[in-house]
Amino acid sequence: MEKLFVIKIGGNVIDDEKALADFLTNFASIKDKKILVHGGGKIATQIGNQMGIAANYIDGRRITDAATIDLVTMVYGGLINKKIVAQLQALQCNAIGLCGADANIIAATKRSITTQNIDFGFVGDIDVKKINTKNFETLLTAGFMPVIAPLTHDGNGQILNTNADTIASAIAIALSTIFETRLIYCFEKTGVLQNIENPNSIIKILTQELYQDLKNQHILTHGILPKIDTAFSAIQNGVKEVLIGHSNDLIKNISENFTGTLIK
């Protein structure tokens, strides 16, 4: 099977112009087929503030009301996505910027109101079986590099907000039936750390057993757990390799001399 990299960059990289430019140069240099999934960054909140749209969080998760879904559709699907595409095109990388509605690549279901009566609003949950592998394959085979904004759609005309880590994992799983797929999470840390203050305390290989131990000992903190969960979901569902590392280390982390955390 042909190789495919699904690479995700987080908001911290997007918020830093120089870090983003360096990352995109490295991304563009990868010869294999590749998909970039990007997060949101602080810019949506900044623009929301300018527009008088208050950010509303429950349990650290932003509530996506009607004003907010328009805001993130603009910022994620327009501003961030198109700037990344233009920069990649300048690097001779034939990027094509898409959200989940485009070519119907990622259909999702609007999240129901929870049993605790929390309404997350226009948030989409993905079913891996509904990832449109055929259209992804068509685009990749034609030589395009999809750049995916963290937005999905419900198939009835509504755009939905969806976590970028989850999208990257779901795409990697779905495409692992067609390609030898590797999922690389790029963020602002060198990997999964034993001690969050020490960038050298990288856990080189994270197994499910070790993960349980570190959770039980409260060594791994809340923030990184959802990312690790989507990473394990990927490795348990056909993805060849999953790695969590720093955005600066992309080229190392797609080689055998990786410096981040390999999920086993």
Interface with its own copies (CB under 8 A): 47, 50-52, 70, 73-79, 81-83, 85-87, 89-90, 94-99, 101-104, 135, 138-139, 142, 144, 151, 153, 155-159
Strands of the sheet containing 95-98, edge to edge, are 95-98, 145-148, 33-38, 3-9, 180-187, 241-246, 261-263, 205-206
Phi, psi angles (nearest 5°) of residue 140: -65, -40
Nearer to its own copies, 98 or 228 (CB): 98
Nearer to its own copies, 20 or 183 (CB): 20
Nearer to its own copies, 81 or 163 (CB): 81
Least distance (Å) from its own copies to the CB of residue 21?
9
**C-alpha to C-alpha distance for 133 and 136, rounded to whole angstroms:** 5
Least distance (Å) from its own copies to the CB of residue 66?
12
Least distance (Å) from its own copies to the CB of residue 211?
36
Nearer to its own copies, 24 or 242 (CB): 24
**C-alpha to C-alpha distance for 264 and 241, rounded to whole angstroms:** 8
CB atoms within 10 A of CB 255: 10
Least distance (Å) from its own copies to the CB of residue 93?
10
CB atoms within 10 A of CB 60: 8
